[in-house]
Structures are given as structure tokens and as C-alpha cells.
Structure 1
Amino acid sequence: MHELGVVFHVIKQVEEICVENDLTEISSVTLELGEVSTVIEDYLHDVWNWAVLKKSEHMKTAKLIVETIPAVTFCEDCQQEYPTVEFGKTCPHCGSKKTYLLQGNEFNIKEIEGC
């Protein structure tokens, strides 16, 4: 389960932002999570509360908010976009396999709410 490592990375980044901006407490962290990223949202929530309590100075009660970015694939042959999870790498419009992921693999810290 690499979600624990991901949470540790987020904590490190947010703690650095706290120091740079003289923040004393973080009340929430909003993450953007791509639908086909390798991070499992349920596992992320499972480790969040433990990790911020044990490994963070400024985030001990911070709420984790996750926003899902839908996975969208583009077909080079017919120039159409389609939902990746439903159809995979094969374009449902023309059957081509000349496709690539436009979005849905992201993992971003979107917003930090603190004081």
C-alpha cells in the first residue's frame, strides 16, 4: 500500500508551506485525484488520520478532502474524446487503438485551508 507514502509526501509538502507562510494550523487539505491514478482513495482516507496525528506538527486535526478528476482518453484517428474507465484504450467511436490519456492520472494538492 503506497498510499501511506503518498500521505507522508503530502504532509511534508504542507508542513513546508506552513513554515514558509507562518501558518500555525491547517484545518483541511484538498487533493485532486485522477480516476486512473494508482492511488486508492479509500486507503488514502484510512491512513490520513493516523499519519497527520503522528507525523505532523500543524495538521493534527486536518480534514482530507478528495476531488476526483475523471479519466478521459483522446483518439488520434477520429479526434474524439471518451471516458477511459468505461472503454479503456480502444476508441468506442472508431475502434482505433491509437489513443492516449488526456486526464485522470493526476495527484495534486489543490487547496490548503489554514490559519
Structure 2
Amino acid sequence: MHELGVVFHVIKTVEEVAKENQLTEIEAVTLQLGEVSGVIESYLQNCWKWAVEKKSEILKESALVVETIPAVTFCEDCEKTYGTVEHGKICPYCGSERTYLQQGNEFFIKEISGC
């Protein structure tokens, strides 16, 4: 389960931002998580709850908000996009395998709400 390592990285980053901005408490952290990023949201949420309670005073009461970025694949032959999860690597429009993931494997800290 690599989600715990991801959570520790997010906590460290958020604590640094909080210090730079003289925040004393973080109310929420919003992450953008790609649909095929390999991070399981339920594991992430469980790790977050444990880690902020045990490892971070400034994040102790903070919520983790996750926004999902849909996975989209681009076909180089017909130049159309389609849902990656539904269709995989083969283009549903022309049958080509000359495709690549355009979005959906991201992991970003979008917003930090604090005071």
C-alpha cells in the first residue's frame, strides 16, 4: 500500500506551505487524483485519517477532499479522444492501437484551506 507514503508526502508539503503562509490550522486539503493514477481513494482516505491524527498537529482536524480527473486517451490515427477505462488502449472509433493517455494519471494538491 503506497498510499501511506503518498499521504506523508502530502502532509510534509502542506506543512511547508502552511509555515510559509503563517497558517496555524488547516481545515481541508483538496487533491486532484487521476482515474488511473494507481492510488486507491478509500486507502488514501484511511491513511489520511490515521496520519493527520497521529503525525501532524496543524492538520489534526483537516478533511481530505478528492476530485477525480477522468482518464482520457487520444488516438493518433483518427485524432479522437475517448474514455480510457471504458475502452482501454484500442480506439473504439477506428480500432487503432496508436493511442496514448492524455489525462488521468495525475496527482495534484489543488487547494489548501486554512487559517
- The answer as to whether partners of 1:37 and 1:106 remain within 8 angstroms in 2 is yes
TM-score by length of 1: 0.99
- Structure 1 gap segments, 5+ residues each: none
2:41 corresponds to: 41
SS in 2 for 1:64: strand
2:15 corresponds to: 15
Residue type of the alignment partner of 1:106: E
Residue type of the alignment partner of 2:87: F
| Structure 2 Cα separation of the partners of residues 32 and 51 of structure 1 | 19
CA-to-partner distance for each residue in 1:13-54, whole Å, 9 max, x for gaps?
Answer: 000001101000000000000000010001001111110111
Task: Report runs of 4+ in structure 1 exceeding 3 Å deviation.
Answer: none
| Structure 2 Cα separation of the partners of residues 6 and 52 of structure 1 | 13
Residue type of the alignment partner of 1:77: D
SS in 1 for 2:53: helix
| Structure 2 Cα separation of the partners of residues 111 and 68 of structure 1 | 14
**Alignment root-mean-square deviation, CA:** 0.5
TM-score by length of 2: 0.99
- Structure 2 gap segments, 5+ residues each: none
